[in-house]
Structures are given as C-alpha cells and as structure tokens.
Structure 1
C-alpha cells in the first residue's frame, strides 16, 4: 500500500487536500483511511468537479462530508465504508466507491487516463482499455450497483471506438 500511495502523491503533488487532523475522527477510522485523510490527502479534480476541503464536517455521527458543493456532497460513511455522492435537492445517493482507497485510486486512474489520452492521440483506444480494465479490477462489483464510475466508463467509451470507413 505504501508504494501505491507514494505513486499517488507523486502524480497529484500539490493538488492533494489533507484533512486537518482530528483525534475523534482518527479514532473512528481504520489505519488505511486515516493515512489517506491525514497524510496523503484527496485530489481535487476539475474534470470530475471534486473540491475537497481541509475541514472535518459531519453529516451525522458516522458520515463525514469530504466535498460540499452546491450541486452535491461527497460523503464517506465510516460504518459501511461507502463513499457516495448525495444530492440534497432530491435526496438521491450514488455510490462512488467502497472505501477511501478505492475512491482515491478511481480518481487517480481517471486523471491518468485523461492525461495520457490528451497527450497521445495515436493510442487513445489503448489508454481507454487500460483505464477500463483497472477500474473493473479496482471496483470489481461496480456493475451491480447504481454506480458513478460505470457511467463515466460508458461516457468515455465512444471516444475510443473507431468506425471503419465504408468503401463505395
């Protein structure tokens, strides 16, 4: 895990938002989650519209608000380890990941894919296949859930499909 998290730090550098240390919260987290929130951080993402804050805000005793934007909140349920997007306007929840490690790496794989895709137009299909494979391994049960990343993968998929030219 340490080597993987070092890879995240190197990729995102100054874009990682580390939560202000909070002993009460630290005591309610497992070691991996505490490491991510208080030492590694969560990466802001312009493409995904994720804007994390350093503050520790609770929705209730077992749910931590990671991102509180106008359109929706990213919430981490400490008890069941779900990270989800909550839309206050209609009370809808969409699961992002099971666990902060999966959440962090889903953002990383997405941003890495976009970076590679933009910089190497010849190999776009390869980068999409690699991204899809990594996301399927990381989130091996995503297809059975009302799942955010499945929608992202489906949305990105057509950009890599090349239709053959018909001969007249």
Structure 2
C-alpha cells in the first residue's frame, strides 16, 4: 500500500518538518520513501510544501501529482492542491486558518482547529504535529508508536513531550 502525500502551507509553519518526520518513520519501518521539499524565496511567510511518498514498492519518482492525502495549513494551499487529490482521497486541514468550504464531495475531509489545539498545549508552533497525528491515525501508513520513535530519534528532545501531546490530539480527530 502506497501513500502519496502533499503537506502545504506558509514557511515557518513546520510544513517541511511534518513531511520529514513522516519520511523518517517510513524509513525506520523499512518502507521505500521519498521526501521532496519545495519553498518560495522567503523561508518564513512564503509558500512551502513537500511531497512524501511511502511505499512497500520502489518509488519511481519523488513528484506527487495525484496525492492520496493532502494536509493544508492555509487557504492558498487548499486552492492550489484540492483538485489534485485522488477520488476517495483524504484532506486534512487546519480550519483555524483555512476560511473556505471544500468544493469536492468525493474525498474524505477532516477539519481540525490545529492552532487552537496547539495553543492549549503551549505553542501554536506545534499545530503541524496536530495535523500529522490525524494523518497517521487515519492512514495507518505507520503506527503512532513508530512515528513517536522516529520523532524521538530524529527530533529535538526538548520538544518531544509537547509534540507527542499534539500528535495524540490530532489522532483523536481522526478516530
């Protein structure tokens, strides 16, 4: 089973980190992985997205044109990528920052007030992890335990506990 995922938002929201931690978890689970970042000239405030492919089969190209899942943290990203999601695919969005309704009715949509949830934990900067938790819970491409192990191995230790809480909250939205 393969998952082709696009994470998208503004620079500084942790878009590339979301993809990177999922890619690390996939590698740690012996899946074939591709992580392809893309960002505008401004690191913070410019647009940013990354494509992640996790598959048991070899990955032929790192470019995702028909994502099975899309995670968006702003409206411009939704406007750009919504039409690309495969029929029956998954859209996870931060409804605190995306201010329009979804135009499609052939995909599954999970709306999460990620900024609000992250602020309850202590920082809006971990809103990305709330969304990542929902993605992992819904797709089961890796287990939450595998993602947490990857986060512990590849992330900063001082942020582990807050990131873990954020992932768990996101997972609750996907159940």
TM-score range, shorter chain: 0.3 to 0.5
Q: Which has the higher helix share?
A: 1
Structure (1 or 2) with the larger CA radius of gyration: 1
